[in-house]
Structure 1
Amino acid sequence: MKSFVTAATIALAFATAAVAEGETHRVAIHVDENDPQVMNMALNNVANVHRYYESIGDEVIIELVAYGPGLNMFVAGRSPVESRISAMSLEIETLSFAACGNTHDAMVEKAGTDVPLMDEAVVVPSGVVQLITLQEQGYAYVRP
């Protein structure tokens, strides 16, 4: 049996491609190491993912979640990537930063005083639970 490509088939293909444009993607990026190289790699992932999806006309929502030793990424005045986080949060509207409340509480207890976090970081009760919740909401998971 011969197969013919009709104008309707071609039009359907173009319509399908047009619907695919403008998709929204969701990505959770996880940092649990107090290593500037890992922190910078995570931020590189953020920048690269954002740049790629923007270039094809899609939106990407990115949440960077830090807990354990990785929470040092968000400690005001001590983060090795503080200025980069501040700049990226202004440049990428769909980027958010989640700081583990459990880890923060432990840091405060150990220090015996408040450990201020960067304004960009939003404290969530648990970094691990936040990652689970995001994945249940359809977020892709990335760990640099």
Structure 2
Amino acid sequence: MISWIVGLVCLWIFWIPNNRACMKTIPGDDLTTTTTAPVCPDPMPLFATPDGFAKVVIPAANTNGATTPAGTTISVTCEDAGNNPAVIGAGLTVTFDTIGTHIQDAGNFNTDFEEFSLTCQPTGLWLFDILGIKTAPGFSGIVSTPGAALCQACVGTPTSYCN
């Protein structure tokens, strides 16, 4: 009888805890892996204001190193910087990653200044949606190169970005 009890105890000690045939395992189920939701970085580096007479205004929650969740659309303006009384408007020249360079000069914000939208994509890149020139069709595309969107003031003589 004692040998039977010792055998049963040995079976319980060595075999039962190590037998995981009844436990379901999921491959790669280590609880240390975390997933982060896709976000876009501060879009300000994508813009340049080479003449200094126009400025880009982006909602404060999306600038200064902040990130924006994928799917979020923000309104951005290219407007008067207020340091030249001869500024009569602004134009936006955007060099898209895949569809080339296009101009928005629709005068749709504050008379002759520009407003357009940026949408954060799941890839972490910004989709620019611009209107085009006055009544011309608009364009949408990804912009990822720093300084690829030029916000420039219209001062006196018309230029290619100011009609």
Q: TM-score range by the shorter chain?
A: under 0.3
Q: TM-score scaled by structure 1?
A: 0.26
Higher-strand-fraction structure: 2
Higher relative contact order (CA 8 A, sep 6+): 1
Higher-helix-fraction structure: 1
Higher-Rg structure is 2
